[in-house]
Amino acid sequence: TCLVGSEMCIRDRLSGLFFILLILPDASDIGMIYAFNILAKISYAPAVPLLWTMLADTADYSEWTTGRRATGLFFSASTFAQKGGWGIGGALAGWLLASFGYVEQSAAQSGEAITGIRLMISVFPGILYMSCAVFLVFYRLDATPCLRMQEELEDRRAGRAADGSRGGRSIGARE
The predicted pLDDT at position 162 comes to 66
**Residues of the chain with confidence (pLDDT) below 70:** 1-6, 161-175
The predicted pLDDT at position 172 comes to 42
CA–CA gap between residue 131 and residue 125 (Å, rounded):
10
The predicted pLDDT at position 166 comes to 56
The predicted pLDDT at position 161 comes to 64
The predicted pLDDT at position 164 comes to 61
The predicted pLDDT at position 174 comes to 43
Q: Which residues contact 136 (CB under 8 A, 6 or more apart)?
A: 5, 6, 8, 9, 12
Q: Which residues contact 23 (CB under 8 A, 6 or more apart)?
A: 118, 119, 122, 123
The predicted pLDDT at position 87 comes to 97
The predicted pLDDT at position 169 comes to 46
The predicted pLDDT at position 175 comes to 42
The predicted pLDDT at position 104 comes to 94
The predicted pLDDT at position 117 comes to 96
The predicted pLDDT at position 127 comes to 95
Question: Collapsing DSSP states into helix, strand and coil, what is residue 88?
Answer: helix
| Cα 58 versus chain centre, distance | 14
The predicted pLDDT at position 132 comes to 84
